[in-house]
Structures are given as structure tokens and as C-alpha cells.
Amino acid sequence: MPDTSRDLIFPAPIFHEKIWGGRKLATDFGYEIPDGPIGECWAISAHPNGDCVVSGGAWDGMHLSELWDQHRELFGNVEGDRFPLLVKIIDAKDHLSVQVHPDDAYAAEHENGSLGKRECWYVLAVDPGTKIVIGQRAHDRAELAQMIEEGRWDDMLNLVPCHVGDFFPIEPGTVHAIQGGTLILETQQSSDVTYRVYDYDRVQDDGSTRELHIQQSLDVVDYGMEAPASGEVTAPEVDGVTELMECPNFVVDRVRVSGEKNVEQEWPFLCVSVIEGSGTVSASEAGVTHEIARGTHFLAPAGCGTMAFAGDMTLVTSRLP
């Protein structure tokens, strides 16, 4: 008999206003978003700063954090005090701040037990000629501190060309900044810790500037990191699947569906984002067919069985390693 408790889980997205945000989450994705510059759609999140509520199905109305705490069987009974991943879409109308994230050890000690923030970007749309900041050129803490003090941003920052379909891993300790005119899907650890190095001297509506975190940034920058020259995906595609990144926190794949495609859900859970196209999906153990399209995000829980996709779509999936 079908079991709706094993059906796919569809969280309702949460939207965050940002000084650099735009309106593409409405115009390009069709989301109903609040007024103002909306920079982020937290699509799959149980973080306290954006805890998604399940829409429909057996778990309708529950927060994702509640499902994690009360129904760990949906997540393969994996250990951990919090849901470990966060999937978001970022609409950068203007430049994001130049920033860097800590690793788990630094964040646990200095940020009230938070996780660190390893993340990665899949470029969904970008204005012609736009570049992206990944990496910096200082050799050590003293040189970086001097560059920041003197405002030598052109000397310090490494800019990389940015194209639709590019993929950029952002390890803890990497200086980075998304530039205006870029729309990306971000997969990351469930953390909201960001250290700003530079914010273009922007002034907020109340006349204030946003806080910078220079000392923390100097602490956590990886001075030996080799900056990438390109975000081109060179990994092979096997049966429609391309592995984009495998790291200690997550595995991210791109999956192409052309016609019909079955995907075995053999992991504790799988996060799925439809980034192009439309069609349907059903989980064999639940017996429910769902219409999905660009901008749909869902969780495939443990025990949902085989996911049967039909249509023409591109997906980005993430899971624990």
C-alpha cells in the first residue's frame, strides 16, 4: 500500500531582503515575494534564521527543524543536532560584500557553536561580461591587513569570468563576492556566519554602514588557497548525471531529465532543485505524482523508493557524503 509519510517533502521558500537584492525571484522564477530588494530565497532550510514550513502532504505545516527533531527516520536516522544543509537562490542586482566564511572549528568557538560555512555556487543567469570574486592575492595576514587598510582592492581581489552553467566551490577561508547581475543556486552548510571584508562603502536606508569583520576575516582567510581561473564544469556526464562537488559536508550533482528517468533514492535524504524545465515526479513508495518546474525544491526522504521523473528538466541535487 502507498505510504504518504514516505512522499516527497516540499518546503515553502523563505525570502530575505538584502541591500544588494533585486526582483528576479519574482520575474524570473515566479515566486510571490515581498516588496523591496529581495536577495535570497531560502528554499530548503531548517536554520533558525529561516526555518521552512512544509507545504502539503503528511507533514503539512511542520517546520523542517521539527521534522528533523521528531522524525529522524525521514533522514535515515543520521546523527546531528541540526539539519546540516541549506539550499538557496541568490539574486544579486548589485555587488554582494567581499566576504569570507569560517570553518567548523572557528565557528564553533567564536560563533556560539555554529557550523562553519562551506558552500558552492551554480550559475543560473548572469549579465554579459560579469565576473565573480574568488580568492585574494595576499601571501599572509600582515600583507592582507595592509591591503585592506590601504583599500587596494584591485590588487587584492581575484576576479573570474562568470557564465551560465559555471560551478564554483567556495571553501572556508576563501575570499569571495558575487557581483551584480548574477543569479545563482547556492548549496551550503546550514550556517549564517559571514565575515565582511569590504562593502563598497554603501550606506543603508537609515544612513548607517553595514558592520565589517576585519579581525575575524584575517583570522580565517586561507592564505595558501589557489584561486580558480574558471568555473567551467569539466567533469564527465554519466547517464545524465554530473558530479559537481564532493566534500566532507555534501555531494552536489547536476541531473538532466529528457523524457523519463528513474533515480534511486538510496541516501539518508536528498535535496532536489529544478533549475530548468518542467515535468512530474513521483516516489514509488508514496504513489503520488507531483507537478514540478523551474524553481521547485523538495526533499526526498529515506525510504521513499525510486523517484520517477518525466519531462525535460535540469536538476541540482545535494546530499550528505
Q: List residues with catalytic annotation.
A: 196
Q: Are residues 269 and 303 in contact, defined by beta-carbon separation less than 8 angstroms? A: no
Burial label for 263, CB within 10 Å (0-12, 13-18, 19+), is buried
For 10, counting Cβ atoms within 10 Å of its Cβ (0-12 exposed, 13-18 middle, 19+ buried), the class is buried
Query: Residue 75, Cβ neighbours under 10 Å: how many?
Result: 20
Q: Three-state SS for 75?
A: helix
Confirm if 186 and 101 have CB atoms less than 8 A apart.
Answer: no
Nearest 10 degrees: Cα torsion 27, 122, 255, 227 = 170
DSSP string, 146-180: HHHHHT-HHHHEEEEE--TT-EEEE-TT--EEPPT
b/e per residue 287-320 (b: at least 16 CB within 10 A): eeebebebbbbbbbbbebbebebbbebbbbbbbb
Cell numbers that stand for 149 in this block: 587598510
- Residue 90: CB atoms within 10 A of its CB come to 22
Q: What kind and span of H or E run contains 68?
A: helix 64-70
Query: Nearest Cα to 187, choosing from 290, 315, 316?
Result: 316
